[in-house]
Amino acid sequence: MAVLPPRGVKPSYQFPRVMLAPVAGYTDRPTRQIAREKGCSLTFSELISARGIYEFNQKTQDMLDECRDEHPLIFQIFGAEPEIMYDAVRRVEDLGVDGVNLNLGCPVKKVFKTRSGCGLTLYPVHLVHVIRAMRKATNLHLSVKIRAGVNHKSLIYKMIGDIAQGEGCDGIIIHARTRLMGFGGQANWDWIADLKDYLDIPVIGNGDVIDPESAKRMIDETACDGVMIARGAYGNPWLFRRIEHYLDTGELLPEPAPEERIATLMRHLRLAVEWKGERKACFEMRKHISWYVRGLPCVRVMRDKVNQCETLQGMLDCIREWSESTDWDAYFAKLAAQGHETGDSLPPHRSVSLRVA
């Protein structure tokens, strides 16, 4: 039997059913804003160092500034020193965020070897003091994000769940892989179900949710309280609304039309330039462009050109040139021949023009 939660009062904010995972180098402010606009109920900050906050590191301060006036937002931090974690949480609370999340799942070696991320789970007594300090620092929603263990011989998710629940956490997110698995292999949803059955606090499942059907399967098979999506949402911010609709009605909304995908990509580009400056934004958006145009025709040449661009206008021109030179009628006909229902989600060639974008 799990340790009972010590807090009788729930925080004002609670996890929704569907949320965007925190991913370093991906879930920056422009990406989070696009996700919310397309139906995401909750986003998390990128992984941020508590020591960086404590020492007023400039790069960390820039990441903090990205989080101002953003709702709903959970702030994710990592670290291993209780005093520093306490101070970091107090400063984060001043930003007006909706909650704080402790990362206990990051598998990266440089984080792991400092006893942070997944490495902190190997020191359970120390982990108790870290979470206790964070709980003392705030009454905001407090959660942890974990992996099942370091490897299959050290599946310690129930022990970590005991600590989190016993020290007053309001929820736990489990990525159903071990550190050794990294981001490969199939996520083991049985671990999610086991943890959900064991704990009283809400349990959010993470791992291999890529579409509305897999989201529903995870909830049905594990009884988890919600799903967190990472790679499935890359270049696909419409996924959150499609999942919510499917969970409510059992009906699959159509995939976004190419016109909407390209227009959203262009808006994402402009937001990135606003927040990061042109040069940095153009470099970082190259990967996002590839994700947005996955599965669309004749994208290789466009991607190669975009990867050489260092200006916003250059990137927009490359995308427009590709869009207007693509034979969309042939593309839709090919999809229809393969048995795909095109319907209204795939507009005729003239509807894909982006001259006004």
Query: From the CB of residue 27, how many other CB atoms can be counted at a distance below 10 Å?
Result: 21
Q: Which two tokens stand for residue 50?
A: 């508590």
- The catalytic residue among 40, 106, 224, 282 is 106
16: cis peptide before it, omega within 30°? no
Taking each helix axis from N to C end, the angle separating 157-166 and 124-137, rounded to the nearest 10 degrees, works out to 30
Closest by Cα among 32, 12, 40 to 228? 40
- Residues 228, 148: Cα–Cα separation, whole Å: 15
- Residues 54, 137: Cα–Cα separation, whole Å: 14
Task: Confirm whether 106 is a catalytic residue.
Answer: yes
- Residues 208, 87: Cα–Cα separation, whole Å: 35
Residues with a catalytic annotation lie at: 106
